[in-house]
Amino acid sequence: MKNSEIKVFCRDLNRHGQAVCVEVNDDGEQDNKTSVIFVDGLLMGESGFVEVVETLKNYRVARLSRRIDDSPDRVQMPCAIADDCGGCQIQALSYPASLRWKENSVRQTLERIGTIDVESLVQPIIGASEPYTHYRNKMVYPVGSGAVGPALGFYRARSHDLVTTPVCLIEPQSGARLRELLPQLMVKHAISAYDEKTHTGDLRFVTLRVSPTLGDGKSEKQMIILTSRVEKDAYFALAADLLQEEDVVSVYLNIQAQRSNVILGNKFILLGGDKQLTFTFDGNKFALSPGAFFQINYEQTSKLYRLISSLVKDIHTEHSLSDIIDLYCGVGSIGLYVMNELRKSSNAALPHLLGLELIAEAVADAKQNAELNAFASEDYDFIRAAADESLAYITEADSEHTILILDPPRKGLDATLLSALVEEGPSHLLYVSCNPATLARDLKELTDVYDISLIQPVDMFPWTVHVEVIVKLEKQ
């Protein structure tokens, strides 16, 4: 052991997948008086020697020199670049162990930040039956300069360095072909890779979105979005080549000229093919414009949406709902899925669906999706409104017969909205969150007037530290 090395023991993983370690003294005892150490490469229960590379006020960051022992939960990582790529932070952890860690992480976060007693409320996490099988239906590939020309790849963990691999195990099946083909087309059409250090070059990101697999041996349909610093006529020729691929149905150019990490700009130009990506999901028809949001894992989204539908159905049976308000509704996927399930399982009158969403393009998609699913115009309204502008619709609803479905972005609920829900929210809430920390913060306020009856984690993102959570709340 070098003089600079410290022996450590890993107690847990943090939200980035790094080991949270304590020092181990010469007697083999854990030293709780020194600051914790964050290091890559260890799992819970493992020990190792590390070298500290940065010391901050409350913690230290270290580099792993060598691992002393292996956890029984450690597995051989199947991806060749798993140690470098920032995409799959916990691939060394067996899938059952990763589910246990995520479920426990939800518990700890809600207890620590939300000060909520969750012991009997958190249900066993809903895992994936095929967690390793190209589960993502959307990927954003950064474009850079490789050893022999332009390349599409992935960011190295906590950096913007590009790493590549022939096959990514979580990208869509068609991703590897796109990453092989597009650099060739860039050279052919004299389109350069963007350099973020100098703010020069053309192509910055390539987004691939695919439909669910169509069955009968057919592949998924593909929409491709090319994010560029500048407009170029050459992109039309490149798109024509892409559209020769059997399953590519739509190619867009997106302009993002700002010197920032924002991936998509506001301007989309259809280079060729269909205006939208259309598909059927669990019997529901959807059309997505290029900037639309949709959950990235179809298998787990089906489980998530079926659970939401079941919860709404039970509430509707007991309370005869008159209104379902779907806030942050996007393209209307949750609300319309729920309405379709209610329509299939009950002869009772449907509640009215009100979808509220800030992005105009998403609102237009939602209205179209309602028509695609043959809902009568009086069954729904989709309205463009920011969260704080939605307050009047929420507070004016019949509280006893209204359920509010919340699916906010990672930052959680707007403070004004949160205060209004505490003061005048409806009797029933379903909160769908992709960030347990902001969920816990919001629940701390909501539980002043609401009781939690269910907390259900869902593993939407296998091999990563991320987890989706559904919370059912009822007014006290």
Catalytic (active-site) positions: 434
Enclosing H/E stretch for 339: helix 333-345
Q: How far is CA 303 from CA 278, 282, 336, 468, 470, in A?
A: 21, 10, 15, 12, 12
Dihedral angle of Cα 449, 454, 460, 466, to the nearest 10 degrees: 60
Q: What phi, psi does 297 have (nearest 5°)?
A: -130, 105
Rg of the chain in Å (alpha carbons): 24
- Report the side by side order of strands in the sheet with 428-433: 380-384, 352-357, 323-327, 402-406, 428-433, 468-475, 450-458
Query: Residue 405's closest CA among 319, 303, 300, 333?
Result: 333
Q: Which residues contact 100 (CB under 8 A, 6 or more apart)?
A: none
On whether the CB atoms of residues 365 and 332 are closer than 8 A, the answer is yes
Spatial separation of the C-alpha atoms in residues 333 and 281, rounded to whole Å: 10
Spatial separation of the C-alpha atoms in residues 458 and 300, rounded to whole Å: 7
Q: How far is CA 152 from CA 159, 173, 281, in A?
A: 16, 15, 29
Strand spans (E) along 402-459:
402-406, 428-433, 450-458
Distance, CA of 188 to chain centre? 34
Spatial separation of the C-alpha atoms in residues 38 and 52, rounded to whole Å: 9
* The token pair that represents 403 in the structure block: 């359920």
Q: Which residues contact 414 (CB under 8 A, 6 or more apart)?
A: 386, 387, 388
Q: How far is CA 468 from CA 139, 146, 273, 313, 464, in A?
A: 18, 35, 34, 21, 12
Angle between helices 333-345 and 298-319 (to 10 degrees): 60
Distance, CA of 15 to chain centre? 14
Spatial separation of the C-alpha atoms in residues 32 and 46, rounded to whole Å: 17
* The token pair that represents 238 in the structure block: 């490149």
* The token pair that represents 460 in the structure block: 């939407």
Q: Which residues contact 231 (CB under 8 A, 6 or more apart)?
A: 253, 255, 269
